[in-house]
Amino acid sequence: MTALGEHQRLRASRRGSLRKRDDKAAFLFLLPWFAGLLLITAGPIAASLVLGFTDYNLIQPPEFNGLENFERMLTDERLHAALGVTFTYVFVSVPLQLICALGLALLLDRGLRGLSFYRSVFYLPSLLGSSVAIAVLWRQIFGAEGMVNQVLALVGVQGRGWISDPDSALSTLIVLNVWTFGAPMVIFLAGLRQIPVMYYEAASVDGASRWTQLWRITLPLLSPIIFFNLVLQIIHAFQSFTQAFVVSGGSGGPSDSTLFYTLYLYQRGFNNFDMGYASALAWLLLVIIAGFTAVNFWAAKRWVFYDD
């Protein structure tokens, strides 16, 4: 018994040594990721929090000014305008984008031939929608001599400068964001494929219409996917920058009609060299996004259905 116990102890000790060696190897492989997290993500975030309480112009050393940057936000009219533009963009474009994505996913889920081809075609705008090239193309399409006005001229309608007009400039960017519905559409399509067919078969036997099946089966079972896409797209919409910067030439458009929050933050930090105030604005944006995310999670308890 003593020899057997000694043998088991040696085996346990050997397993412990191998486990420690594996842990060290895993840590070495993860070390570049941890370094990137600290140096590229966590470090700048902490630095921006500190700079938010300073007067810093990128040239001279930062000077502590307490809550002055945050007090300035209360009287900053351009900030208020940027918040209004951004909220309008988020509240209009995100629902329209999700509706288009869900509608296309429902059509593609009906067993359409060449599904892979159509799925790739519809997903392509999501890959290109945030690029500078697409923003430049959008500016040409909706310009005074763009394709939209050329098409309208064929039917005798006098077009206008859609981007240069403050009444329609933001709408062009909303259309651009709705056009990039490919990513949520693919996620919706994957979720639809996970709904058991037996539910629809049972509903058909009971005489339920397609519309009733959509409201009573599809949407409740797809609600976790809808919630997932809603949270991601709201965060993405609040962070939109490239489209507004390129389409408006970095100015915020006519009468600040396309002055997104991120664009105004960029102007304060890199045009006006007011990096302390820009850092404070960045943290305000973080609080806004966190607040909307928290509200979504709170409201999800009332409409998101989980099978378990």
pLDDT band with cut points at 50, 70 and 90 for residue 129: low
Q: What is the pLDDT of residue 31?
A: 87
pLDDT of 22: 65
10 versus 56: the higher-pLDDT residue is 56
Which tokens hold the place of 151? 């098409």
- More confidently predicted of 293 and 162: 293
pTM value? Answer: 0.85
Are 53 and 64 in contact by the 8 Å Cβ rule? The answer is yes
Can you tell me the distance from the alpha carbon of 260 to that of 248, in angstroms, rounded to the nearest whole number?
Answer: 10
Per residue in 256-289, pLDDT tens? Answer: 899 999 999 999 999 999 999 999 999 999 999 9
The DSSP code for 54 is E
Residue 163 vs residue 308, higher pLDDT: 163
Fold of the CATH domain 77-303: MetI-like fold (1.10.3720)
- Could you please report the per-residue DSSP string of 154-190? HTT-----TTTSTTTHHHHHHHHHHH--HHHHHHHHH
Ordered by start, the domain boundaries in the chain are 2-51, 77-303
Cβ atoms < 10 Å from Cβ of 263: 25
Task: Please answer whether residues 170 and 89 qualify as being in contact, where contact means their C-beta atoms are separated by less than 8 angstroms.
Answer: yes
For residue 175, give Cα distances in angstroms to 5, 31, 92, 138. 74, 43, 10, 10
